[in-house]
Structure 1
């Protein structure tokens, strides 16, 4: 006699036992069903129905009970996430990461040297002098000239050759004047970033201003030699859609990774920059009011 919804009962059916076995309900296993992880302790909630997902030994779950796992059972407790790891995932009301930032704070105002090249609707984002390694050659030449010409002047003075001694001293002054010129040129050489463009301004007597709109930058990279990684400087290479580029390669820029993040953020996330600046201004105003 078969079931109303199944095939007729056949005692000789070879698959009958398998079908009956497959349709048997799976028994629930509780603490009272024998030894095993959590079964030898009546109060162990290992197989309890009221244990919520997420209960664990590191905190209370939805049921308020601890989740005890035996190491021999093959189950592992949920992973722990430290506060430092969570800090980079949390966001504030503006949608920005509230953890430690990788981009340094932006400058408030441009210097007088830079301000003259900015138009009123442009937002200033920062200016940088080239790394001190840019002066390595002039300084090395000045030190070498001081030692060599100083020794030569002393030697010529002992030989009673006054004219040659004077020439050596004048030559030293000329070398040091060239070094001073290179230092002054380094001081007035600036890399400038705004919300519209990047610029390089250099020159003492003849001023040169090269710029590239951020909207035209199609590719940007920076390169660091072993010395650049050791002293934290690099060379930026900018590619644009046009063939003639007034600004393509900028050498010896300091903190290239931080500067790279600054430019990329300005290119792709200008709203995030504005939100961060607004938040900083509000915090500064609150601190001043306090």
Structure 2
């Protein structure tokens, strides 16, 4: 077959008839509105696109509630982790618990409670060094210098005593009561049953929000209260929620404490072997 170009040239070209397009293969998914469910695709076992199985060693010891117990603190300084609550009472508080009550936790006061004594010790050291230098240059006898050093040591000893007193203090929560233990030689144990608590709140100053501490104010039905104001307690929001749950939902706390740890190893995976196996 010959054909002349559009410009009138005498060139000839051979042309072939075009083949009709092949029909489109039916789609896997049904048309909109059809009753046939969509087809689901899955990776075959061992395929390259399948999701990797979680190694048992990577999740060993991981619990779902780690983020609650050791999560970020509620203060303005994000990233400061809350101190973990011990599972068993310390020897300092164990002697004041009777066998039938359930231990929930104990807390020391926040380190900001010692800030005034840190300042006293630092100023005493600075002043002692200044006075000692002046006495040495003036050429006075060693008696005044000895008295200055002795006063400085007494102040540091008093500051150390306050640090020891802070370490021995405990705020204790059980399923029946709250306690505040104070003192090193002369001990003071204040107690209030949870059933008699009529009102409870905590307050935080701007510094308390930054450093995550607060003051608890606890009211009871009695007029003469042995435990009312407890300042400088760490993690006040978490402690407040824990105390409220202990007062209003004790069954939920007991049920959560009795739950075993959830098994995170997928079915069909072998259990991790111990180190001694």
Asked if these proteins are the same fold (TM beyond 0.5), I'd say: yes
Range that drifts further, 267-276 or 195-204: 267-276
The separation in 2 between residues aligned to 1:147 and 1:154, in whole angstroms, is 11
Any gaps of 5 or more consecutive residues in structure 1? Answer: 1-42, 51-62, 67-97
Q: Which of the numbers 149, 155, 167 marks the counterpart of 1:187?
A: 167
**Counterpart contact for 1:218–1:240, Cα < 8 Å:** yes
Q: Aligned-pair distance for 1:275?
A: 1.5
CA distance in 1, matches of 2:98, 2:231: 26
- Mapping 1:88-237, distance limit 5 Å: 102-103=68-69, 107-161=86-140, 162-237=142-217
If the length of structure 2 is used for normalisation, what is the TM-score? 0.66
Distance in 1 between the 2:65 and 2:100 partners? 31
1:129–1:191 Cα contact (<8 Å) kept: yes
| Comparing 163-172 and 244-253, the one that deviates more | 163-172
* Counterpart-to-counterpart distance in 2, 1:288 and 1:118: 38
For structure 2, which runs of at least 5 residues remain unmatched after alignment? 1-30, 40-63, 71-83, 264-270
TM-score (norm. length: structure 1): 0.63
More helix by share: 1
RMSD over equivalenced CA pairs, Å: 2.6
Q: Secondary structure at the match of 2:259?
A: helix
Contact 1:103 1:261 in 2 (8 A): no
How far the C-alpha of 1:101 sits from its partner, in A, is 5.8
Distance 2:112 2:37 in 1: 61
**Per-residue deviation, 1:282:** 8.3
Q: Can you list the C-alpha shifts for 1:71-101, whole angstroms capped at 9, x where unaligned?
A: xxxxxxxxxxxxxxxxxxxxxxxxxxx7776
Distance in structure 2 (CA, Å) of the matches to 1:281 and 1:197: 28
1:170 shift after superposition? 0.9
Query: Runs (4+) of structure 1 moved beyond 2 Å?
Result: 63-66, 98-107, 280-283, 287-290
Pairwise CA distance, 1:108: 1.8
